[in-house]
Amino acid sequence: MGSVPDALPLPLSLLDRSRTRGGEPDSRALSSTVARARRAEALGYHRFWVAEHHGVPGIASGSPAVLAAAVAAGTGRIRVGSGGVMLPNHRPLVVAEQFAVLAGLYPGRVDLGLGRSLGFTAPVRAALGATRAEPADFLQAIDEVRDYLHGRGPVTAMPRVPAPPIFVLAGARGLELAAAAGLPVVVGGPVLGSPAPIERYRRDFRPAGPDDRPHVIISVMTMVARSRATARELLLPEAWAMAASRTTGAFPPLEDVAAIRSRTLTARQESTVESFLAQAVYGAPTEVAAELAALVARTGADEVMATTSTHDRAEQDAADAALAELFG
């Protein structure tokens, strides 16, 4: 595999979406998230974030505040947060109170990542009553959450504790919103292919306080394995889940690689799989280190947040450990 280069000189974090697996109870995905956080802490990861998805068979995490509490209780040092709380689904006061409670219980360890995605399907969106997805509504909701956390709201959000930092989960438009709000950003997907949107975020950043600075965390699907071919195989369960969701409208549990290999994919499904893999960073350690170093140089990232998952939990644990080694 070649020698591993010098460690990448920036923090490494992990986003875990509590992926379900075929043939397992959904509850195991949640207990595995907590166990993974413990391992991530031991490996030196900086943050461990959990997600919010509703009515999705392949993801068990519907309440990031509740799951983050379990993760924080099961660890002792690593920062814990949401990747993220989707503001169209919640009242800002409730979000502020939930994360104030977390910050009170685990001072100095809690992050609040905010996004504006609506539910995956029309029935989910109707069940949530999600209506505040427009950019202006999102900015207003961010301001409300921030005011409550800092004691400036029309009512007192309890408990009164130092406010946890807020991050905006962003694509290209989200970068504009984060700049307008003067908040750090977590950015992933196709926007990482060009430095221009991130450069505009830094240029247009309007600090809300004297210590506010642009801060960019890049979110990347990664897989480190013995070889590039092996890493590609390990990413197939996630790639197939994406392809299946585009076909059936349901994002399924992870399947074994062999089961996926036995399928005959349509041309559209093959295209979705290849598109997914094209946006991932995978391979042997030297290959992943080189590609991540190039991505960091292109984006000027301050931090990397990896999203790594595969059907085989032992392989996922090994990939987490191998990635941590690249960051020293």
Q: Mean pLDDT, consecutive 10-residue segments, the chain of 328 residues? A: 69 98 96 98 98 94 97 98 94 97 98 90 86 85 97 96 97 92 94 92 93 95 98 97 89 94 92 95 97 95 96 97 95
Q: Residue 265 to residues 120, 248, 254, 278, 311: CA-CA distances in angstroms?
A: 23, 13, 16, 18, 19
The CB density around residue 164, as the number of other CB atoms within 10 Å, is 24
* Amino acid identity, position 289: A
Give me the pLDDT at residue 131, please: 67
User: 209 lies in which domain range?
Assistant: 12-228+282-326
Can you give the CATH number for the domain in which 124 is found?
Answer: 3.20.20.30
Could you give phi then psi for residue 316, rounded to 5 degrees? -65, -45
Asked if residue 265 is part of any domain, the answer here is no
Distance between CA 67 and CA 46 in Å, rounded?
18
Q: Which two tokens stand for residue 116?
A: 């504006």
Asked if residue 245 is part of any domain, the answer here is no
Nearest 10 degrees: CA dihedral of 26, 32, 34, 36?
A: -150
Asked if residue 244 is part of any domain, the answer here is no
Q: Which two tokens stand for residue 5?
A: 């280069």
Give me the pLDDT at residue 132, please: 63
Asked if residue 261 is part of any domain, the answer here is no
Asked if residue 20 is part of any domain, the answer here is yes
Helix (H) or strand (E) holding 80: strand 79-82
Give me the pLDDT at residue 1, please: 46
Q: Residue 207 to residues 22, 146, 215: CA-CA distances in angstroms?
A: 46, 13, 11
Q: What pTM, to 2 d.p., does this model score? A: 0.95
Q: Residue 213 to residues 163, 206, 207, 208: CA-CA distances in angstroms?
A: 17, 9, 7, 9
Asked if residue 254 is part of any domain, the answer here is no
Give me the pLDDT at residue 7, please: 78
Q: Which two tokens stand for residue 180?
A: 């307008």
Helix (H) or strand (E) holding 131: none
Distance between CA 204 and CA 128 in Å, rounded?
33
Asked if residue 266 is part of any domain, the answer here is no
Asked if residue 248 is part of any domain, the answer here is no
Going 110 to 119 to 180 to 158, the CA torsion angle's sign is negative
Q: Which of 92, 98, 58 is nearest to 80 (CA)?
A: 98
Instruction: Count the domains in the chain.
Output: 1
